[in-house]
Chains A and B, each alone.
Chain A
Amino acid sequence: QSWPVYEEVFNKMHELAAFLDLPRFPDITESCFLHPDMLCMKYLMEANLPDELHNWTCRVVKKIGIGEVDFLTLTPGNKSKRKVKYDVLAAAIIVVVLKLLFLLDDHYEWLLSEFAEERNKNNTEVCMFYSGGPYFEFKKWYEVVKHSLDVEQKKLDEARAKYLWRCEKPLFYSVKNKSKVLKRRQMVVNLQNQFGKLSGSVQRAEKPNPSSFQLSWSEENTDGSCFHGHSLKGILQEKCGLLTAMNPDYWLCTVKLCNEKLCGHLAHYKEVEFPQSYHFVLGLFSFLLRIQPSYIHDEVCMIEHKLFNKKLCKKLKYNTVLRK
């Protein structure tokens, strides 16, 4: 007995679709829920990131062509096409955007945050009104989100420890066993009753939350813990009438992608080899999606390689930092 892993379910699903010889699924267009633009919006909200980041995710999606109908729509049996993991892809896009804007090298993002903090202090209410909210401070966001994440993770761990596995009717494989199994079941029920009564008032029947959001942030909270309306102006600069990131650098998660068909992954993620901030961001989405961080890392690598394709082809193998 165990909970199936995401990848297992994913692969089985595709095998089944191919086995059943299903035709091409309905098109996934920009108005569909599974389109990266939509999913990015959802996850940006859930991750408590500024809405303004959505412009950036859309730009990345457009640039590397992963918003195209043909790329997204599931065609069972088409082995040459890489199978799309919609949610993981959306999360990875957000991670890439964060890397683009904040670099996430355990150094630059904190500098930017201090900078934004200074500007926030000096700004008056009026300035904030015009810029559409205070400047986004990475540090504050990190603190708020980490706290909530820890709380939710703890709840999840406890829920997992309390998980009840047994089925309604006990199974037995022979008539001989029947009475023994039934006796055991009776004892289990007795003990559960006895100790259940001693558990205190914890047994509220919790209604399952209809929403699929695990973390929710409300603009109405006056404690400033919601970052949706915050402005990215603090980390952007105007160049030729366009807003670009102040951050001129980027680091690739991996210079060379593995052969997915051979070793099952595009890259191999080891926490110690990457900056803590990157690890944190991966961890956040890994918690939200209930998958291992390495899957998101794979998608991030894939996106990066698409994004910097031209530069990679030209570049020598040794450099890992590129200038945009």
Chain B
Amino acid sequence: SSNEHKLNFKKSKEACVSYIQDALLQKQWKRSAEFLTCYVESLEKDYSREHIGPSEMIWRIGTEILWHHSQSNMKEFNCFMEQMKTLGVKRYLKVCLEHVFHLLCNGHIDEAYQNLSLAESWRFGEQTAIQDKEMKLIQAYRGLLDYCSWSKQKNILLEHGEDGFSDLAVEREMHGYFRKAAVNLKEIIKIPGVWDVFVKCYVDLLEFYGDHNEARQVLNEYAYNSKFPANPNAHVYLYQFLKRQGESKKSLISALKILHDIVPSHELMIDFNTMLQKSKKRKKRQLGLEVIFAALDYAGWKENAKAWSCLARQMKQIVISEKHLDWIKQEWNSRKDWWPAFHFSRYLAKRNWQENKSLSYEKALVAGILLGKDSKYFKYVSHQGCKAQLKRFRMLKKFVTRHNPAYLRISG
């Protein structure tokens, strides 16, 4: 057992790493640099059996320190990254990519582009095939930067266009960037993954050049291909595209339906409800009610006057027509235990009245229908409104009082 206590190289370096860790967690960059200086000699040892070797450790720790240390600068950082690239061929592309990210974060777009191009031309026997994924990412980011350049040229062109100038050179450059960008962006989005930025840019390019079919196909793939991870943004992009294309309400609604299923609190739910309310189909109108109720379940929507007005409008219509009160009853069943405290407390009545009269108006209407004319919220707001001699609040009071039987049917 005397061997357990022996201080050896391995234990000494393990202890060193744990000191570095502590220092990093406490943002003590000088101290972590101090210990890293002592750790660095591990590079000369064989660690092939370990999970994470010293070269990876040094790369990751060194990056953190150089990124945050007050005395470090981009030049030092770049120099370090170049050294790290030579340290491990299996990690070469990953290091390149991360270097590029750091350059982009610091606004060094040109340098980032150079690094990406350089990395793209890298070949190393079978490693090239093994690191295929990283290579695709590198190409994708280069495509992204090409897109940025394209975008810049496009803006220049538009400006000149406004002034009546046409600039063939700029146009040619622009088309050149388009080709370069399109090729790479198309490749990456074939692979299952979350590629919001790439997809958006690619679709932008396609739309500009009028290739709407390809754009539609890309967006459909991104949203509906089950191999891709579930991504609400995919549906948002598809919806926005379809809207731009002036597609039928039917296809717009089907695009948003999935979004409602995944993210009931999404901001597009207002648009969705508005579309559904106007639909001629009963099922769609009922869905609309479901959608707006579901959105208002979330705290972030509590003070959204637009959302409340959607709900109020729809509920008012249902009450007046006296048809489909059961829809409201169904939605209210699962909410009547907690919505009163969540939305319709006396405290909220006071606050809403003070801060946003429109909000309190819409909410009061809903409260009046769901909880009756004697509910705290409705009573307070309508009283305040009538006191202030605001016409619509008087109308509100009359309406709710007249339709109290509806409340009784809903709550019963």
| Docked-complex contact B30 and A199, CB < 8 angstroms | yes
In A4-25, which residues have CB < 8 Å from any B CB?
4-5, 7-8
| Docked-complex contact A3 and B44, CB < 8 angstroms | no
| Docked-complex contact B38 and A163, CB < 8 angstroms | yes
Inter-chain contacts of B12 with A (CB < 8 A): 160-161, 163, 165
Instruction: Using known A-B contacts A2-B7, A198-B72, determine if residue A170 contacts B40 with beta carbons closer than 8 Å.
Output: no
In B66-109, which residues have CB < 8 Å from any A CB?
66, 69, 71-72, 76, 79-80, 83, 86-87
| Docked-complex contact A198 and B15, CB < 8 angstroms | no
Partner of B83 from A8, A187, A197 at Cβ < 8 Å: A187
Whether B8 sits at the interface, judged by CB under 8 Å, is yes
A58 to B41, CA, bound (A): 49
Partner of A3 from B7, B15, B65, B87 at Cβ < 8 Å: B7
Q: Select from chain B the residue with minimum beta-carbon distance to A187.
A: B83
- The interface bits of chain A over 190-203 (1 if a CB of B lies within 8 angstroms of the residue's CB, else 0) are 11101111111010
Whether B62 sits at the interface, judged by CB under 8 Å, is yes
Whether A151 sits at the interface, judged by CB under 8 Å, is no
- The interface bits of chain B over 1-25 (1 if a CB of A lies within 8 angstroms of the residue's CB, else 0) are 0100111110010011011000000
Whether A157 sits at the interface, judged by CB under 8 Å, is yes
Inter-chain contacts of A222 with B (CB < 8 A): none
A222 to B38, CA, bound (A): 39
* Chain A residues engaging chain B, CB cutoff 8 angstroms: 1-5, 7-8, 157-158, 160-166, 170, 181, 184-185, 187-188, 190-192, 194-200, 202, 292
A134 to B198, CA, bound (A): 80
| Docked-complex contact B40 and A192, CB < 8 angstroms | yes
Inter-chain contacts of A164 with B (CB < 8 A): 38, 41
Question: How many pairs, one residue from A and one from B, have CB atoms within 8 Å of each other in the complex?
Answer: 98
Partner of A161 from B30, B33, B38, B83 at Cβ < 8 Å: B38
Whether B341 sits at the interface, judged by CB under 8 Å, is no
Provide 7 A-B residue pairs closer than 8 Å at the C-beta atoms, listed in order of the A residue: A5-B2, A190-B83, A191-B43, A191-B83, A195-B40, A195-B62, A199-B30
From B41, B65, B87, name the one whose CB has the most chain A CB atoms within 10 angstroms.
B41
Q: How far is the CB of B360 from chain A (nearest CB, A)?
A: 59
Partner of A170 from B8, B33, B36, B44 at Cβ < 8 Å: B44
A2 to B3, CA, bound (A): 10
Partner of B16 from A162, A190, A195 at Cβ < 8 Å: A162
Partner of B9 from A158, A162, A165, A202 at Cβ < 8 Å: A165
A7 to B71, CA, bound (A): 47
| Docked-complex contact B6 and A5, CB < 8 angstroms | yes
Inter-chain contacts of B15 with A (CB < 8 A): 157, 160-161
Inter-chain contacts of A160 with B (CB < 8 A): 7, 12, 15
Q: Select from chain B the residue with minimum beta-carbon distance to A189.
A: B40
Q: How far is the CB of B283 from chain A (nearest CB, A)?
A: 66
Q: How far is the CB of A296 from chain B (nearest CB, A)?
A: 14
A310 to B7, CA, bound (A): 42
Q: Select from chain B the residue with minimum beta-carbon distance to A181.
A: B44
Instruction: Using known A-B contacts A160-B15, A195-B37, A199-B34, determine if residue A3 contacts B8 with beta carbons closer than 8 Å.
Output: yes
